[in-house]
Homo-oligomer: A and B are copies of this chain.
């Protein structure tokens, strides 16, 4: 039994061999991603907005200004869809038709609930901060009462989810194998350059390890 029971809308029909419904795969994608795309319906029409997030156990946390239209809409408990995609490579085949992308994507259906309790809110903000920069929380000033009030935090329980993954080389038709066309994969990943200190940073503040060694964890699939 998969961790997530496939439903009418999470069961992958196209290329079902690329599908996964286990938490290790779905959460591996969520944990490596930085930004998710959240879809919801306003006046019967779809809206998709990117936002940061963090995951702990079977809950995804998002946050933003208390004035955010998206968060005001989502906190009423309307249906939402969260999508996270990581690009792993460009797949260059001998035919245009067989070009593809190596990727890992997770799609979640559900609802959000408002986190009202200040201690729970603070903990969710810690989870989001640590998701983006592991080790960061203990070196920053924590949210004040005023800042907590200005921030809306929503929790999205992870119950209905699936992943879709493509890996590996191009798959060409046998009759194309002798073509004089270069074929292969151009590996891709989100990479990080040397940190740029804030111009007003005191020279006595050293670059901490959580910044100097920054990288996204890569669970499971490469």
By a beta-carbon cutoff of 8 Å, the part of chain A in contact with chain B is 9, 13-14, 34-35, 37-42, 44-50, 52, 64-65, 67-69, 79-83, 85, 87, 90, 92-97, 99, 101, 103, 105, 107, 109, 125-126, 129, 132-133, 136-137, 139-144, 147, 151, 169-170, 172, 176-202, 204-208, 211, 214
Do the beta carbons of A190 and B193 come within 8 Å of each other? Answer: no
What are some 22 contacts across the A-B interface (CB < 8 A)?
A: A14-B69, A35-B101, A37-B39, A37-B50, A39-B39, A40-B46, A41-B45, A44-B44, A44-B79, A46-B81, A52-B101, A94-B141, A96-B129, A96-B140, A96-B142, A99-B136, A139-B181, A169-B199, A182-B195, A184-B197, A187-B194, A188-B192
Copies of this chain assembled into the complex? 2
Partner of A34, one of B87, B129, B191: B87
Kindly list chain B residues whose C-beta atoms are within 8 Å of the C-beta of A9.
42, 45, 47
Partner of A35, one of B41, B80, B85, B97: B85
Do the beta carbons of B46 and A46 come within 8 Å of each other? Answer: yes
Chain B minimum-CB-distance residue to A95: B141
Do the beta carbons of A39 and B48 come within 8 Å of each other? Answer: yes
Chain B minimum-CB-distance residue to A50: B85
**Cα(A186)–Cα(B136), bound, Å:** 13
Kindly list chain B residues whose C-beta atoms are within 8 Å of the C-beta of A103.
35, 50
**Cα(A194)–Cα(B188), bound, Å:** 9
Do the beta carbons of B81 and A48 come within 8 Å of each other? Answer: yes
Do the beta carbons of A65 and B14 come within 8 Å of each other? Answer: yes
- Known A-B contacts A46-B79, A85-B35, A90-B133; the reply to A205 vs B180 at CB < 8 A is yes
Kindly list chain B residues whose C-beta atoms are within 8 Å of the C-beta of A133.
90, 92, 99, 186
Chain B minimum-CB-distance residue to A100: B52
